[in-house]
């Protein structure tokens, strides 16, 4: 057995923001990746787009946000990710194996600022100009004809951890809905207004998409068309536009969607929250997966089994762990809540990030889950055959098992579009525990 010693340059911490120290190797100044990007003009434009999203607030715009891209070196690719200041747009630039001329020597993640000097340097990179990148746990160094620019690691906002998890769960339910040539994509995107915050629906119509105000089977939600503005500079390099979304029907409410421009070696995607004023961090899509008692233990087991393949094989993990595929996905959701796992809609598979995982952090970042556990532990739930009663403070609420709907004001306002309320979660915990205990032999 071969062992390796890794020297961390500091301690990870979760305060107001998450400060990461993931080792990139045994050297004093390790590097995850050092090499050239084979399509420099497109890569520079894509990185600028990810940084632009990080500095934008699409709902109630104010001064630029001080949030910065996360850079992950996987086994054969680089990923640059960010959320907008309002946490309603998730951007990612994937530099695929064909886009790299260099070796990924270690796996790791860091988050860096993209300041004005680097923005200027990237803006001057042409199609054939060299673009050299070095990624380490402490910095991102970009070298162009103008010389090297070093961007240092900055704290990662804890809100992004919730955003990563929610985006992972939502996009894992997506399917490709439409594929457009770049000419048709350019015509569509150039028609969109940067100030448009209405919820539209894109319906496949021949080779393109027709925008309407009402959902229909096969349609893709376009919530806040102005939030796609960061894609436009990338159009001159891309070959295709692929749009991903969940299945919808007539009368469906707003849902999230992913808009992806690609060319060999690079993919730039923007995932939009269901409505312009809604941030991913408050969607509540992860709560049902985290409510079971075994979720944390399953996550520890799956974490130990994860390998650094480009994608995570759910069936292989199920076979190795002895868990069914549903419990594996719940465990991946638990890991995703701490930023450890993401989802790639283009490849319909999960991928890794090297962020610290802590069960305590998961609870701290999901107050509805904490409140539900408190209700369940306090004996506030009286389980019934079809309807359970929950005492919360001076009020009593009824939760219907079939739909997990509740009589509380929170459910009346959101109708399940922002995940379950704390009362429904508490009932789910009690019912799940009852089923589990009945399956255990006396």
The string of DSSP codes covering 116-139 is HHHHHHHHT--SSS--EEEE-SSE
CA distances from 405 to 253, 308, 375, 408, 422 (A): 17, 40, 17, 9, 11
End-to-end CA gap in the chain: 43
Would the pLDDT of 124 be above 90? yes
Q: How would residue 156 be classed by pLDDT, with cut points 50, 70 and 90?
A: confident
What percent of the chain has pLDDT above 90?
Answer: 44
Q: Residue 100's pLDDT is what?
A: 96
Q: How would residue 94 be classed by pLDDT, with cut points 50, 70 and 90?
A: very high
Record the tokens describing residue 47, joined without a space. Answer: 């990185």
Q: Among 330, 302, 337, 299, which residue's Cα sits nearest to residue 316?
A: 302
Alpha-carbon distance of 229 to 54, in angstroms, equals 13
Q: Residue 25's pLDDT is what?
A: 44
Residues in the chain, overall count? 442
Would the pLDDT of 6 be above 70? no
- Count of C-beta atoms within a 10 Å radius of residue 3: 4
Q: Residue 20's pLDDT is what?
A: 42
| Residue where the block lists tokens 């094989």 | 313
Query: By the 8 A CB rule, do 373 and 296 touch?
Result: no
Record the tokens describing residue 397, joined without a space. Answer: 């609420």
Residue 349 forms beta bridges with which residues?
344
Q: How would residue 361 be classed by pLDDT, with cut points 50, 70 and 90?
A: low
Record the tokens describing residue 238, joined without a space. Answer: 């891309």
**Residues with Cβ within 8 Å of residue 367, at least 6 apart in sequence:** none
pLDDT tens per residue, range 237-287: 999 999 999 999 988 889 999 999 999 999 999 999 999 888 887 666 666
Record the tokens describing residue 247, joined without a space. Answer: 């299945």
Task: Give me the phi and psi of 275, to 5 degrees please.
Answer: -145, 150
Q: Residue 85's pLDDT is what?
A: 86
Q: How would residue 442 be classed by pLDDT, with cut points 50, 70 and 90?
A: very low
- Count of C-beta atoms within a 10 Å radius of residue 286: 24
| Residue where the block lists tokens 């992004």 | 160
- Look at 115-124, 184-193, 297-306, 407-416 and tell me which has the smallest mean pLDDT: 297-306
Q: Residue 399's pLDDT is what?
A: 93
The mean per-residue pLDDT over the stretch 292-313 comes to 75
Q: Residue 42's pLDDT is what?
A: 97
Burial classification of residue 259, based on how many CB atoms lie within 10 Å of its CB (0-12 exposed, 13-18 middle, 19 or more buried): buried
Alpha-carbon distance of 283 to 333, in angstroms, equals 14
pLDDT tens per residue, range 12-51: 444 444 444 444 444 455 788 999 999 999 999 999 999 9
Q: Residue 241's pLDDT is what?
A: 97
Question: Which is more confident, 425 or 356?
Answer: 425
CA distances from 124 to 42, 141, 144, 399 (A): 12, 16, 9, 59
Question: Which is more confident, 392 or 27?
Answer: 392
Q: Which domains does the chain have, with CATH numbers?
A: 13-157 (3.10.150.10), 160-279 (3.10.150), 366-442 (no CATH)
Q: Residue 347's pLDDT is what?
A: 92
Alpha carbon 172 to chain centroid distance?
A: 10
Would the pLDDT of 67 be above 80? no
The answer to whether the predicted template modeling score (pTM) of the entire model surpasses 0.85 is no
3-state secondary structure of 293: coil
| Residue where the block lists tokens 């992972």 | 168
């Amino acid at each position: 057995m071969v062992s390796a010693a890794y020297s961390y340059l500091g301690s990870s911490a979760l305060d107001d923001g998450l400060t990461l120290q993931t080792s990139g190797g045994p050297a004093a100044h390790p590097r995850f990746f050092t090499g050239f990007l084979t399509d420099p003009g497109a890569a520079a434009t894509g990185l600028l787009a990810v940084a632009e999203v990080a500095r934008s607030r699409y709902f109630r715009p104010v001064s630029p946000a001080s949030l910065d891209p996360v850079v992950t070196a996987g086994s054969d690719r680089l990923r640059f990710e960010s959320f907008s200041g309002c946490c309603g747009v998730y951007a990612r630039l994937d530099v695929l194996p064909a886009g790299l001329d260099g070796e990924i020597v270690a796996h790791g993640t860091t988050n860096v600022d993209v300041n004005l000097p680097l923005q200027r340097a990237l803006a001057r990179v042409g199609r054939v100009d060299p673009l050299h990148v070095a990624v380490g746990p402490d910095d991102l160094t970009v070298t162009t004809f103008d010389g090297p620019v070093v961007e240092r690691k900055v704290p990662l906002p804890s809100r992004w951890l919730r955003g990563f998890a929610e985006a992972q769960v939502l996009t894992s339910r997506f399917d490709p809905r439409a594929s457009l040539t770049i000419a048709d994509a350019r015509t569509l995107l150039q028609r969109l207004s940067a100030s448009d915050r209405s919820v539209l629906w894109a319906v496949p119509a021949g080779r393109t998409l027709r925008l309407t105000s009402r959902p229909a089977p096969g349609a893709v939600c376009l919530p806040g068309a102005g939030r796609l503005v960061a894609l436009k500079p990338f159009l001159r390099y891309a070959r295709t536009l692929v749009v991903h979304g969940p299945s919808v029907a007539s009368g469906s409410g707003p849902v999230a969607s992913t808009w992806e421009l690609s060319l060999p070696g690079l993919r730039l995607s923007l995932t939009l929250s269901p409505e312009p004023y809604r941030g991913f961090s408050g969607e509540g899509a992860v709560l049902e997966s985290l409510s079971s008692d075994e979720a944390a233990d399953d996550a520890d087991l799956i974490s130990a089994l994860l390998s650094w393949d480009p994608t995570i094989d759910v069936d292989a993990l199920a076979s190795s762990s002895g868990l069914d595929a549903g419990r594996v996905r719940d465990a991946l959701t638990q890991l995703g809540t701490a930023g450890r796992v993401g989802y790639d809609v283009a490849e319909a598979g999960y991928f890794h990030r090297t962020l610290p995982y802590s069960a305590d952090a998961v609870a701290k970042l999901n107050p509805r889950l904490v409140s539900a556990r408190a209700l369940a532990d306090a004996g506030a739930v009286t389980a019934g055959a079809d309807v359970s009663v929950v005492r919360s403070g001076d009020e009593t609420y009824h939760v219907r098992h079939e739909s997990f709907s509740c009589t509380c004001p929170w459910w009346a306002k959101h109708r399940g579009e922002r995940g379950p309320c704390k009362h429904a979660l508490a009932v789910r915990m009690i019912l799940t525990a009852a089923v589990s205990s009945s399956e255990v032999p006396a």
